[in-house]
Amino acid sequence: MKLRILSSAIILLFSAAAHSFTETDYNDAIKKASEAIERLEKDENNKPYIPYGIYADLVVSIRAARSSFGNGNIDEAYFHARAAIEYAETVAIIADTRRMVKEIEIANAISKIETRIAESEASRYSLLLASGFRKKGNCYTVDISDGLIFGKNRGALSGSGEERLNKLVQIIKKLGPSGVVIVGHTSKRDVKNYSARKAGIVESFLIKQGVDSGLIRKASFGDTVAADTAAGFIKADRIEIVLEGLQ
């Protein structure tokens, strides 16, 4: 850009030696230079990217043009005005280029962030699906058979049941659902309120392991809600866990 301005200046010097410029020539040139500065000042998109070293040269050239004109040196005034125009065009090109480069950098950064978010979301869903959860609206739900978490008398958790529920605790802490619903189900008529007692046992374990009690709600449906299985809807002794607020 500097070479371009220098080349233009040399051409103007030779032109000035062979030709005397008129006041009209000067007025046209200084007007273009002033308008160029005004455009630069009004361009809010490119203004932060102006190369102020060259911009300073632009301002100096305009001042020199007006000073020369005031001293009656029209040729010199015209030369400075034309140099100012060249500086202004150079400033505009550099500022525009810097802005475009910055926009590309920002776009690339946003793309990387979006990719990371997508990867995080994919990881979240993979964790849920690997744990047997199914998506229902903005919730994820899983049915756990009584035999997998309760002992033989069904009044307490088995060792393997505690391990399974500990994995659930880790999922809850990692994903941060807005609510955890524990639902007890039975395969036969729930005359002893067995489904509610089961839900209570699971609730107590989750709270003991650090799950916020304010997140947990319990429900018991007895044998009124069948399980949705690959073999169809079947009444089954089970605990249903619903994680709410996961998009």
Q: What is the pLDDT of residues 76-130, one digit of tens each?
A: 999 999 999 999 999 999 999 999 999 998 888 888 887 776 666 666 777 787 7
C-alpha closest to that of 76 among 121, 26, 118, 117: 26
- The neighbouring-strand residues paired with 144 are 239
Distance CA 44, CA 165 (A): 58
What is the pTM assigned to this prediction? 0.53
Is pLDDT larger for residue 13 or for residue 107?
A: 107
pLDDT of 235 > 50? The answer is yes
Secondary structure of residue 137 in the 3-state scheme: coil
